[in-house]
Amino acid sequence: MSEIRIDKFLADRTKYSRNEIKTMLKKGAVRMNNEILSDPKQKINPDVQEITLNGKKIHGGLEIYLLVNKPENYICATEDRQHKTVLELVPEALRHKDLFPAGRLDIDSTGLVLLTTDGALAHNMLSPKHHVPKYYLVTLSRKFQESYVQSLADGMTLADGTVCLPVQTKPLTEKICLVCLHEGKYHQIKRMFAALGNHVEHLHRVAVGSLLLPPDLPSGDCLEIFNKDILQMLKADSFPEMCEQIVYAFSSYLINDGH
Ligand code: URA
């Protein structure tokens, strides 16, 4: 990142307005490499200088990538009048005004959501041409039937005539299966299993491309990842390879019946 005014940098990266930052600068709350800054016009380079606000380091990379373990009752939007949004899960030091969720999970679904400032990446991840595969552990209310594998692989037609692309599926326990989607239609997994005569009780997204949700990341926690992780994520592994990794990483989720 090239040089940027300290007041603009901090206003972009925190919840404070530029005026509030000016007041904080006057009070000595801002430091660059441990030296107090007071001039809002001071240019800084956050790639090489450590900036702190009230003692907390403020992230300086060009684009931000955060992996969130979304809990239930949060929605994937930047603002909402009724519900809490996934952006509220971001700790102050990682906040940025341009962060948005790249892709959606339903309010009652849990697991991996990527938040980023990188519009080009989000476009690439979600566009039908490049669509990056997404992996879900799906808990059904009734037993998984072997016949589902072929029906989903053939590409299902939903009740309203929506045609779905082929979906890869593997049963992991009696009622939990792994589903890999290559597109993101509205309530797609719930509607596909409804069309098969079953019902989805819970959906937990465990991977996007080859990027696995760290199984020990507590629900509601956020983890910063970097450009190199994103490049790795886009090189998606095959379904059998991902299956193996997911079963290994989420073995206790499977043993505890999706809890
Ligand atoms: N499919 C659904 O039905 N819900 C989600 O949250 C994701 C995929």
pLDDT in tens, 102-112: 989 999 999 99
The catalytic residues are 106
Q: What's residue 96's pLDDT?
A: 85
Range with the lowest mean pLDDT among 208-212, 233-237, 244-248?
A: 233-237
Q: Average pLDDT, stretch 1-13?
A: 83
Instruction: State yes or no: pLDDT of 1 exceeds 60.
Output: no
**Ligand 1 neighbours (beta carbon < 6 A):** 105-106, 109, 187-190, 203
Is there a single domain that holds both residue 104 and residue 47? no
CA of 94 to the centre of ligand 1 (A): 27
Is there a single domain that holds both residue 104 and residue 202? yes
Is there a single domain that holds both residue 108 and residue 155? yes
How far apart CA 106 and CA 252 sit, in angstroms, is: 24
Q: What's residue 218's pLDDT?
A: 97
Is there a single domain that holds both residue 44 and residue 72? no
Is there a single domain that holds both residue 118 and residue 136? yes
Instruction: State yes or no: pLDDT of 18 exceeds 70.
Output: yes
Query: Which class for 195: exposed (0-12), middle (13-18), buried (19 or more C-beta within 10 A)?
Result: middle
Q: Average pLDDT, stretch 90-99?
A: 87
* pLDDT, mean over the chain: 91
**Measuring from atom 7 of ligand 1, which residue has the nearest CA?**
105
| CB of 47 closer than 8 Å to CB of 60 | yes
Q: Name the token pair of 10.
A: 């901090």
CA of 229 to the centre of ligand 1 (A): 24
Q: Average pLDDT, stretch 9-16?
A: 80
Is there a single domain that holds both residue 126 and residue 35? no
| Degrees, nearest 5: CA angle 106-107-112 | 65
CA of 26 to the centre of ligand 1 (A): 48
Domain that holds residue 237: 65-255
Is there a single domain that holds both residue 111 and residue 179? yes
**Measuring from atom 2 of ligand 1, which residue has the nearest CA?**
187
Is there a single domain that holds both residue 104 and residue 231? yes
Residue of higher predicted confidence among 39 and 17: 39
Is there a single domain that holds both residue 128 and residue 228? yes
| CB of 118 closer than 8 Å to CB of 65 | yes
**Measuring from atom 4 of ligand 1, which residue has the nearest CA?**
187
Give pLDDT tens digits for 122-180. Answer: 887 777 777 789 999 999 999 999 999 999 999 999 989 999 999 999 999 999 999 99
Which domain CATH number covers 102? 3.30.2350.10
**Distances in Å between the alpha carbon of 113 and those of 29, 31, 88, 128, 146?**
33, 32, 13, 19, 30
Categorize the per-residue pLDDT at 228 as very low, low, confident or very high, splitting at 50, 70 and 90: low
Categorize the per-residue pLDDT at 92 as very low, low, confident or very high, splitting at 50, 70 and 90: confident
Give pLDDT tens digits for 39-50. Answer: 999 999 887 888
CA of 110 to the centre of ligand 1 (A): 10
Is there a single domain that holds both residue 179 and residue 73? yes
Q: Average pLDDT, stretch 230-257?
A: 90
What is the count of structural domains for the chain? 2
Which domain CATH number covers 21? 3.10.290.10
Instruction: State yes or no: pLDDT of 61 exceeds 70.
Output: no
| Domain final residue, candidates 15, 34, 57 | 57
Is there a single domain that holds both residue 45 and residue 72? no
Is there a single domain that holds both residue 35 and residue 85? no
Atom of ligand 1 nearest to the CA of 187: 3
